[in-house]
């Protein structure tokens, strides 16, 4: 009998077992990305985003929707994701994942997906740049990791790697997924938008991912 699973109900060990993922820890973004300095204008925009987060956070829990609209959207704009060569989709259903050797289908819906429309003009499948899973501010950002890995996994059939990000608005956990046998995901250091140096690195990472 076929079992249908929703990605939101999966635990990390479920994802590792079903999708045969292996976890690696990576302490350095620069091992994967070229991080360039950010401009004074970008610093000011970043400060404005930090102030918005602090204001809302001081009043209580920030919902997923507010985080996407008030924090992630401005961050992605400053990082250069809003351009004609990139398509951003919201609440996108993933293709059903059929688990090998088990009569199991995994379904789910991504929060945010950024796709490079011009990558490989002879290839009909769009190139995924970044998959984002958001949580409300009362949850640990890492709680979105099982869903994020599941959603990003679907892209590895068409490309060798993809970046993922799970966040609760304050903390940002980047993940680099690579096709393989087994496929692996690298956990990068968490970044905190409320700390100036950490938030600057956050913007540097987003810009570098966009420019890849």
Report helix, strand or coil for 208: helix
> Is 14 a residue whose pLDDT tops 90?
no
In sign, the C-alpha dihedral spanning 7, 11, 14, 15 is positive
Percent of the chain with pLDDT over 70: 87
What's the rounded mean pLDDT across residues 119-138?
76
d(CA 130, CA 163): 5
Residue-range domain boundaries for the chain = 3-211
Per residue in 44-80, pLDDT tens? 999 999 999 999 999 999 999 999 999 999 999 999 9
Residue 113 is encoded by which pair of tokens? 């997906």
Instruction: Report the pLDDT value the prediction gives residue 80, as an integer from 0 to 100.
Output: 96
9 vs 143: CA distance, rounded Å:
11
Q: Which CATH class is domain 3-211?
A: alpha beta
Contacts of 164 (CB under 8 A, 6+ apart): 130, 131, 132, 133, 148, 149, 151, 152, 174, 175, 176, 177, 185
């Amino acid at each position: 009998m076929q079992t249908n699973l929703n990605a939101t109900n999966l635990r990390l060990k479920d994802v590792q077992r079903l999708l045969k993922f292996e976890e690696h820890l990576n302490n350095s973004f620069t091992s994967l990305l070229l991080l360039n300095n950010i401009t004074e204008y970008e610093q000011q925009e970043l400060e404005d985003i930090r102030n918005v987060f602090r204001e809302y956070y001081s009043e209580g829990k920030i919902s997923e929707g507010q985080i996407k609209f008030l924090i992630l959207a401005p961050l992605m704009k400053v990082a250069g994701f809003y351009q004609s060569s990139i398509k951003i989709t919201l609440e996108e259903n993933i293709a059903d994942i059929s688990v090998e050797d088990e009569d199991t289908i995994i379904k789910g819906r991504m929060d945010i997906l950024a796709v490079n429309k011009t990558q490989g003009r002879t290839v009909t499948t769009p190139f995924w740049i970044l998959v984002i899973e958001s949580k409300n501010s009362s949850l640990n950002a890492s709680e979105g990791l099982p869903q994020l890995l599941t959603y990003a996994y679907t892209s590895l059939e068409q490309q060798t790697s993809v970046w993922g990000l799970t966040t609760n608005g304050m903390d940002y956990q980047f993940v680099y997924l690579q096709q393989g046998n087994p496929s692996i995901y690298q956990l990068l250091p968490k970044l905190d938008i409320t700390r100036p140096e950490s938030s600057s690195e956050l913007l540097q990472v987003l810009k570098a991912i966009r420019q890849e």
